[in-house]
Structure 1
Amino acid sequence: MYKRVSTGVLMTGLAALASTAAQADELSDAERAARTEVWAPVPPVVAAPAGGVPSDAVVLFDGTDLSAWEGEEGGPAEWRVEDGAMTVVPGAGGIRTREAFCDVQLHLEWRTPADIDGFDGQDRGNSGVFLQQRYEIQVLDSHDNPTYANGQAASIYKQHMPLVNASREPGEWQSYDILYTAPRFDDGGELDTPAHVTVLHNGVLVQHHATIQGTTEWIGAPSYDEAHGCAPLYLQDHDAAVSFRNIWIREL
């Protein structure tokens, strides 16, 4: 049913609107613009030197030592450090950061071996960057090297192929810039929000806010089979002498 509104109430409302409009008309452009300006809180200042590391980043590898890392089961990280890079020692196992992380911006540079004789597909320069030690961004020599698309370089392994193949030739340095949002779990341990990741490979967008479907699996489907909190960044030993350098991370 419609409710009858008295003429007096209607006229009062119209008068109020007219008064408000009149007051707005009396404001200057600067005063009207100021109504949508936000001055606080002021964003913190972060120094961002050209080609350098942001001032609020955690440096995980500066080319000198592996003090920020340990072996995948604990103990010393046993990769080789020389000429400003750290290189997988095949058979030594992967390495993980001593510190745990959740949401991050990650920068790292990597290089697959230049000698590719006798190697192809997944056997050519294979490694991986595991966010929270569970979710892999594939590292692989994908320059003129056919393999399954959701297993090539910059794929979310076995989940999402990259939008394009931005790979450089074997033996050349390449870069990943990764924006990662960790999954959230409810009080009962059930998944509330899945993880998401954006990846730039050599400055080219290859994963755009892609949904991570669960833990990385070589065989079978991914799943979020257990709730977890922050966890280390992990670099994989996949029996190839892949090198890494200039690794830094920003907690978001």
Structure 2
Amino acid sequence: MIRFRPDWRGLSVPILSASLLVLALGVSPAPAQNKGQTLSEAEARKDADYAVQGEYVGKRTAGDDEGKVGLQLVAQGQGKFIGVAYPGGLPGAGWTGKEKIPVTGTRKGDVVELIGGKDGEKGSGTWKDGRILYKDEDGNSGTFKRVVRISPTMGAKAPKEAVVLFDGSTAKHFKGGRLEKGLLREGVTSFRNFGDFHLHMEFKLNYAPSRRGQGRSNSGIYMQGRYEIQILDSFGLAGKHNECGGIYEIKDPDLNMCLPPLQWQTYDIDFTAARYDKAGKKTANARLTARHNGVLIHKNVDVPRSTRASPVREGVDLGPVYIQNHGNPLHFRNIWLVEKREAGFVPIFNGKTLAGWHKNPEKIGHGTGGSWKVENGVIAGEQDPPGSGNGGILLTDKTYGDFELLIDMKPDWGVCSGLFVRSNNRGQCFQMMVDYHDDGNVGHIYGEGTGGFNTRTFDIFGKYNDKKELVSLTTKPTKVAPPKAFTISGNDWVSAWKVGDWNTARLRVVGSPPQITTWINGRKVNEFNGRTFPGKGYDKVGITKLLGAKGRVAVQVHGGKGWPKGAKCRWRNVYVRELN
């Protein structure tokens, strides 16, 4: 239920009467409005038509019968208005959902005259001194007052686990991000990419009374840059797929919950991404549930395709949050989301013991296995004993073919670790490097024990304070560039990585030889194609024969004297989704 501002809470719920209308507000005549003009907020609040536009609630009395009605009035420019009366109350607050009574209005000096239905067949009236005074077709009279509804999710605080995309302090989480008086402007794409999630956002439409249709505050919020829920000033309109709350070209909202321009509004969206098999064929459509200003407008809707104008094509990759620029100025605030673990991911670490895991069974180049313990629900690895140079790997008992992996990692600065896939018990594998030290790399693919091929395009370096403590990171291009393939830029990698905190890696491993894609905190880092990679040290035939089509997942403590004494690499929340 949308709440009212305190001024109007004496009116039990947003309710108005069934056949209206005329409205009276003590305002000055409307100023001249250029056709197509978008007024600034300061200009709009001085405009007489803006003072009339809005939502009203009231009731009429006919003997012992009290009829409740909601009314929405929409400024059309030059003293003209259209509107809708809703028997039972406003949409989402009492309207029966059956009858709508069209309303038209014209300013005459300080008075706006309104008629309901065709030629006043549903009533007429006048407004003056801030009240709506009207008579219906049967001569019953009534009064209305203006209300300002506030979404119950307005100002919702981001949970601890949320990814905060915009809190008013910076636009750095968006490509093309622009700040305007602490608000975010339209036309931005999140740097981070996402799978399934719950999204909260708040937006404010501009006031452009002389514009029509798709020219009034046109924008859209695109899940994964693919699936659009429209943003539009469709206050008082029919509520179609191309209006506010609609899934563009797919489905109308169940109810038009658009509020007037310059009032803050909310979207709360639960999104489930499309599903794909290991060949990249879609096996299930995307689905979404949405609430507009706290009212359910879509419930678990099947979305069969991406929006025609979407910047990202459908596919297995994660995708960004995209807010469209359609040439109209809009403002946004309080944007955050909570990622949901997609269906099919199962834990392979129970958070209590190392059941299901084992150290390398025989001595390898890194050592006899290193030290591995569960500390506060986290796998912690270090050399055994600390600083001795004796490392090793911790491997899953189970082998995996085609799969996706999620894992949180928190390496101490200075450690040289790695995340192994398709590994054998000797640690020969495809490794996602976790070389978290000067001249290191995190996120690119390396051939561990298989020729040393490398896909890294940059090395990371620390920035330190006077106490020689790590405060931030920078990157430099590698001396020898690998063959061309997708890789994140050094600057984008730095913006994705969280120094001194947990970071989430995601890998997709498909085929033999495999295609491997890596993400860190939702940012795609590297794509390696084992079928076509022409890099030095890569022997496609030999590696395929050595490793086969299945292998273990493993984490590494590097052997040798480079590992700082007492340093650890920590891992948690380890999940696998097998692709059959």
TM-score calculated relative to the size of structure 1: 0.69
Answer yes or no: is the 8 Å Cα contact 2:285–2:303 preserved in 1.
yes
CA gap of 1:171–1:56, structure 2 versus 1, over 3 A, is same
| SS at structure 2 position matched to 1:200 | strand
After superposition, the Cα gap between the structure-2 partners of 1:119 and 1:240, relative to the gap in structure 1 and judged at 3 Å, is same
Q: Aligned residue for 1:134?
A: 226
- Say if 2:172 is the partner of 1:81: no
- Structure-2 residue corresponding to 1:69: 174
Shift of 1:188: 1.8
What aligned pairs does 1:170-189 form with structure 2 within 5 A after superposition? 170-189=261-280
Structure 1 residue 200, shift from structure 2 partner:
0.3
Contact conserved, 1:133 with 1:231, CA < 8 A, in 2? yes
Shift of the 235–188 alpha-carbon distance from structure 1 to 2, 3 Å rule, reads same
Aligned-partner Cα distance in 1 for 2:156–2:283: 38
Question: Pairwise mapping of residues 1-252 of structure 1 onto structure 2 (< 5 A)?
Answer: 51-71=156-176, 77=177, 79-82=178-181, 84-88=182-186, 94-114=187-207, 116-145=208-237, 149-217=240-308, 226-252=314-340
Contact 2:306/2:314 (<8 A) preserved: no
Query: Could you tell me how far 1:187 is from its partner in structure 2?
Result: 1.5
Tell me, in whole angstroms, the C-alpha distance in 2 between the residues paired with 1:217 and 1:183. 17
Q: 1:136-162, CA deviations, whole angstroms, 9 ceiling, x for partnerless residues?
A: 011111102457x11111111010100
| Contact 1:65–1:81 (Cα < 8 Å) also in 2 | no
Asked if structure 2 preserves the Cα contact closer than 8 Å seen for 1:122 and 1:140, the reply is yes
TM-aligned CA distance change 1:68 to 1:128, over 3 Å: same
- Inter-partner Cα distance in structure 1 for 2:192 and 2:304: 24
CA contact (8 A) 2:171 2:179 kept: no
Residue 173 of structure 1 aligns with an amino acid whose one-letter code is W
Cα shift at 1:186: 1.1
Letter matched to residue 175 of structure 1: T
- Name the CA distance, whole Å, in 2 between partners of 1:52 and 1:134: 26
Report the Cα offset of residue 225 of structure 1.
7.1
1:167-204 per-residue CA deviation (whole Å, 9 max, x = no partner) reads: 11111000000000000111222110110000000000
| Residue aligned with 1:187, SS | coil
Give the alignment's Cα RMSD to 1 decimal. Answer: 1.9
Deviation at 1:58, TM superposition (A): 0.9
Extract unaligned runs of 5+ from structure 1.
1-49, 72-76, 89-93
State the Cα deviation string for residues 193-219 of structure 1 (Å, max 9, x = none).
Answer: 11000000000000100011111016x
Conservation of the 8 A alpha-carbon contact between 1:63 and 1:81: no
Give, in whole Å, the separation in 2 of the partners of 1:192 and 1:229. Answer: 14
Percent of matched pairs sharing the same residue: 35
Decide whether aligned partners of structure 1 residues 225 and 172 sit closer, same or farther in structure 2, where only a CA change above 3 A counts.
Answer: closer
**Aligned equivalents of 2:314, 2:170: Cα separation in 1:** 34
Q: Which has the higher contact order (CA 8 A, sep 6+)?
A: 1
One-letter code aligned to 2:185 = T
Look up the equivalent residue of 1:85 and give its one-letter code: L
- Tell me the TM-score normalized by structure 2: 0.31
Question: SS where residue 257 of structure 2 aligns?
Answer: coil
- Judge conservation of contact 2:170–2:179 (CA < 8 Å) in 1: no
Q: 1:184 to 1:199 in 2, by over 3 A?
A: same
Shift of 1:226: 4.8
Structure 1 pair 193/55, CA: closer, same or farther in 2 (3 Å)? same
Contact 1:130 1:136 survives alignment (8 Å) = yes
The one-letter code of the counterpart of 1:144 is: G
The SS at the match of 1:122 is helix
Find the aligned partners of 1:134 and 1:99 in 2 and give their Cα distance.
Answer: 15
Partners of 2:314 and 2:335 lie apart in 1 by 29
State the SS of the aligned residue for 1:100.
strand
Whole-angstrom CA distance in 2 between matches of 1:161 and 1:101? 25
Partner residue, 2:578: none
1:121 maps to amino acid: G
Structure 2: distance between partners of 1:86 and 1:163: 28
Shift of 1:64: 1.6
Larger radius of gyration between Structure 1 and Structure 2: 2
What is the DSSP-based 3-state SS (H/G/I as helix, E as strand, rest coil) of the residue aligned with 1:207?
strand
**Larger % of helix: which?**
1
Contact kept? 2:233, 2:261, Cα under 8 Å: yes
Instruction: For residue 81 of structure 1, report the CA deviation from its aligned partner.
Output: 2.5
Letter of the 1:162 partner, please give it: P
Aligned counterparts of 1:166 and 1:146: Cα–Cα separation in 2: 10
Shift of 1:228: 2.5
Give the secondary-structure state (helix, strand or coil) at the position aligned to 1:232.
strand
Which position in structure 1 is the counterpart of 2:502? none
The alpha carbon displacement at 1:53 in A equals 1.6
Number of positions where the alignment pairs a residue of Structure 1 with one of Structure 2: 185
